[in-house]
Amino acid sequence: MQKYPVWTLKHERDSDSGADGSVEPLVDVVLANRGLTAEDIEDSPKVLQDPFTMKDMDLLSERIVKAVRSGERIVVFGDYDVDGVTSTAVFMDLLVRVGADAVSILPDRYRDGYGMKPAGAQQAVDMGARVIVTADNGISSFKAVEAANAAGIDVLVTDHHEPHGRLPDAFAVVNPNRPDCGYGFKGLAAVGVAFKAVQALSASLIDASERRAYLNSLLDLVALGTVADIAPMLGENRLLTRRGMQILDRTQRPGLQALKAVAGTDTRPVDTTTIGFHLGPRINSAGRLASADLALDLLRTGEAGEAARLAERLNALNRQRREFELEGVEQAGEQVETMALDRQRILVTRGESWHLGVVGLIAGRLAERYSRPAIACSEVRGDGSFTGSARSGAGYNMAEAIFRCADLLTEYGGHADAGGFTGPLGNFDAFKTRMEADAAERISVEDLRTRLELDAALRPGEISLETVSALSALAPFGSGNEAPLFMVQNCTVERANAVGKGAHLKMNLDTGTSGDQAVRSTRSNPRICDAVWWGQGELAGRLHRGDRVDVACSLEANTWNGRTQVQLVLEDMRPAQGQ
């Protein structure tokens, strides 16, 4: 039943803390646990940085403005994930609005792989490009930039990935993470970098009276890409995402209206869960299984009929993606079960026909299930190569590990938490052996002891809609500002059953037994609460009325049949300690 062997309370509270049901101290506790202050989460426009403080932004702006005004063709070269597609959509929105001669290219995951390569640069040449603007790629596209330069094309790189060593010899390289960039916030997703570029361009290309409203209209796209890319939910990202989700609530884009409808999220406010678990995966499914252009067309269409058709297509692709993912996870799990897990610090698996669109999802599932870094590779290209995706854990820097295997690979890239690569199939065994040795050297047994960090132990008086409302001021949640997790001790199980075709666990818990003082049940502060644990329906048969449990959970307001009540969303559960 218990997923995490160790539960750690970040903040130990006095025995009488919260007895009066006051929620303000709880908000302070959550902020302090993250090393944040009220200033870090304020929605003041002063957190927005001047785009021209980003290195080379002046060069990019001048070159695009010149191209627009002289009628030169601009090609936006994007990527196939949500961040890349929304980045491309942001650039194309502006360029089309100002009458530029602009077209876009999104690479094919199978045929092209990640990033602009010489063949991609040649494609832009064939399309008559005079300027190439990369979106969510380019920082490692050395050969492609050289090819474009040789053809007399100016390349403007916009990216957010960490540079390694040198920069490409492009006309401009706009990336807040380049070592010589003094921009004040380093955590922008690629769509955030694209938005800052459009903000800079708007000073020359959009009338001042329309500029603010126009920039605001792009924030639904910015929120989508930022949340889906798991960018830090701090600083500019927090403000842009919070405002973007408000725009997304009432978006005027037919494609997003239709996507919300097929995802079943069109009747409730948009939050990071809506994007991360409902909208984002459907947008990603296009690039995973078909063509990312389907997703770009959805975001850019002005026709309701076309929007509905595209949304249904993405919804169908997302269902297919789930099937491929589950099949791959099952096969990869069978490989893992043959490994000596007490000695294996990283899991390296390989399938002959795993779809390239889901290898990253397979790796992520393995990393979560076995609490250690994981790699899933596939031979599906059938060209004598293997392509893999990696997900980290235990504090292991995945990008650095992959770079230490660079001599065995033909393509590679990533960041601390994830990476991707391709190499000759003949090098796979050597790659696997080296990665396993590298992880064994850098990951200890103690590192693999998964810990669940909880903000505090809740008192029954704090399990209320008032607490949910107070904590909502800290949203949006994400990396660096994680959703608060709490422990509720010594609850009594009143009912437990499986829902969602047996997939999820639904319970009624009596939380009034979890404190030293009796608690009166009210509508906003019920003693018996609904609780849900996603993906754990199999536990229903193992729980009985009267069982005492401790739960690790977040709080949410759940509305059903017009009635709103507080609900516990479980992250873990264990037999009550010290009962």
pLDDT bin (cut points 50, 70, 90) of residue 413 is: confident
Query: What pLDDT does 13 receive?
Result: 75
Task: Output the pLDDT for position 416.
Answer: 84
Q: Identify whether residues 402 and 546 lie together within a single domain.
A: no
- Identify the pLDDT of residue 526: 67
Model pLDDT, residue 533: 95
% of residues, the chain, pLDDT over 90: 80
Report the C-alpha gap between 289 and 314 in whole angstroms.
10
Do 495 and 552 lie in a common domain? Answer: yes
Domain carrying residue 427: 339-448
Q: Which amino acid is at 576?
A: A
Same domain, 533 and 443: no
3-state SS assignment for residue 246: helix
Within this chain, do residues 65 and 176 fall inside the same structural domain, yes or no? yes
Considering 214, 248, 283, which residue would you say is the last residue of a domain? Answer: 214
- Are residue 102 and residue 115 in the same domain, yes or no? yes
Q: Does a structural domain hold residue 271?
A: no
Residue 367 is encoded by which pair of tokens?
A: 């990393």
* 266, part of any domain: no
* CA diameter of the chain: 78
13-22, 47-56, 151-160, 335-344: range with lowest mean pLDDT: 13-22
- Same domain? For 425 and 460 the reply is no
Q: Could you tell me if residue 562 is inside a domain?
A: yes
Mean of pLDDT over the chain: 92
C-alpha pair distances (Å), 10 with each of 368, 483, 555, 570:
22, 14, 18, 18
Assess whether pLDDT exceeds 90 at residue 127: yes
Residues 458 and 569 in one domain: yes
Domain CATH number, residue 84: 3.90.1640.30
286 has a pLDDT exceeding 50: yes
pLDDT in tens, 77-119: 999 999 999 999 999 999 999 999 999 999 998 889 889 999 9
| Residue 303 to residues 82, 248, 256, 277, 312, Cα–Cα distance (Å) | 21, 18, 11, 26, 14
Pairing relationship of beta strands 374-378 and 385-391 according to DSSP bridges: antiparallel
Rounded mean pLDDT of 374-383?
Answer: 96
Per-residue pLDDT at 41? 79
Q: What is the pLDDT of residue 14?
A: 63
Domains in the chain: how many in total? 3
pLDDT of residue 168: 97
Whole-prediction pTM? 0.88
Do residue 54 and residue 182 come from a single domain?
Answer: yes
| CA 449 vs CA 21, 261, 369, 372: distances in Å | 35, 41, 13, 9
Q: pLDDT value at position 520?
A: 54
Listed residues 424, 448, 472: the one ending a domain: 448
pLDDT digits (tens, 9 = 90+) for 545-561: 999 999 999 999 988 88
Q: Is residue 330 part of a domain?
A: no
- Judge whether 467 lies within some domain: yes
Taking only the tens place, the pLDDT of each residue in 465-516 is: 999 999 998 999 998 899 999 999 999 999 999 998 888 999 999 998 654 4
Residues recorded for the chain: 579
Let me know whether 89 and 181 are in one domain. Answer: yes
What average pLDDT does the segment 182-204 reach? 97
Residue 327 placed within a domain:
no
Note the pLDDT of residue 85: 98
Q: For residues 530 and 478, state if they share a domain.
A: yes
Q: Assess if residue 314 is contained within a domain.
A: no
Query: Can you point out the beta strands (E) in 410-472?
Result: 411-415, 418-424, 451-454, 456-457
Cα angle 184-209-213, degrees, rounded to a multiple of 5:
60
Identify the residue with better confidence: 74 or 267. Answer: 74
Secondary-structure percent of the chain, ordered helix, strand, coil, rounded to 5: 45, 20, 35
Average pLDDT over residues 174-179: 96
**Looking at residue 519, what is its pLDDT?**
52
Q: Are residues 402 and 508 in the same domain?
A: no
**Residue 521 pLDDT greater than 60, yes or no:** no
Residue 240 inside a domain? The answer is: no
Radius of gyration of the chain (CA): 25
29: domain CATH number is 2.40.50.460
| CATH (domain of 430) | 3.10.310.30
Domain end call among 214, 242, 263: 214
79 and 56, same structural domain? Answer: yes
